[in-house]
Copies of this chain bind each other. A is one copy, B any other.
Amino acid sequence: MEFHTDFKPLTVQPQEIEEKSFEIITEELGEHSFTADQYPVVQRVIHASADFELGRSLVFHPRAIEAGVAAIRAGKILVADVQMVQVGISKPRIEQFGGDVKVYISDPDVIEEAKRLNTTRAIISIRKAIQEAEGGIFAIGNAPTALLELIRLIKEGVAKPGLIVGVPVGFVSAAESKEELAKLDVPFITNIGRKGGSPVAVAAVNALSIMAARKE
């Protein structure tokens, strides 16, 4: 492979860009009521969205950070609702603890079962996930139906996730699904309103895995 290197490249270091971005975020965010443990998640979500309103809309269960860090350190499975979330999550920090990042939505048995029941693949993928990823982190950035199904299975006593990162985006059921999540007394990270999405779920998980890799 021959590259065009006959002109001066832009010399930019990704690490420097991130540090500079984090400085700007802290400065522009100003006062907030997040704890020191929660703040790295907020910061990384704003970094991924350039949206302070979205950052400020985050809501944390009191045990969320502790539970997320513990799940990662225990090598629990991380379940992504869609492939965009799966590929965005930094794998090495999950794998160093023996964990893995899985997505079930395109599994042949999930597709078949969704057709049979005339429902969404997202819902069926959650049913599969709760069996394979007990105590794991569920990162839901897209499908409100997946989050609603997970909430229902928790209420039924069938699902016992370590942490739910529930930040689906959208106009139909997204905000409502997050309101339901925020009522549960299980570790969750969510946000108020329609906004959210894959980069938000990814940013939250990556912030947690950085904490897991650092903290004592």
A contact residues vs B (CB 8 Å cutoff): 1-5, 7, 9-14, 17, 20-21, 24-25, 47-51, 83-84, 86-88, 109, 113, 117-120, 123-124, 127-128, 130-131, 145, 148-149, 152-153, 156, 158, 169-174, 193-199, 202
Contact = CB atoms under 8 A, between A and B. Distances in A.
Contacts of A17: 145, 170, 172-173
* Protomer copies: 2
Contacts of A10: 119-120, 123, 145, 148-149, 152
A119 B196 contact: no
Q: Counting chain B CB atoms within 10 Å of each CB, which of A1, A21, A158 scores highest? A: A1
Contacts of A149: 9-10
Contacts of A158: 4
Contacts of A195: 49-51
Nearest to A51: B195
A56 to B, nearest CB: 14
Given A20-B171, A171-B25, A5 B145 contact: no
Given A11-B118, A24-B171, A50-B193, 4 more contacts: A3-B124, A5-B117, A50-B174, A84-B88
Contacts of A24: 171-172
A172 B169 CA distance: 25
Contacts of A87: 83-84, 86-87
Contacts of A83: 87-88
Contacts of A3: 113, 124, 127-128
A4 B12 CA distance: 51
A169 B50 contact: yes
Nearest to A175: B50
Given A48-B197, A127-B3, A117 B9 contact: yes
B199 A84 contact: yes
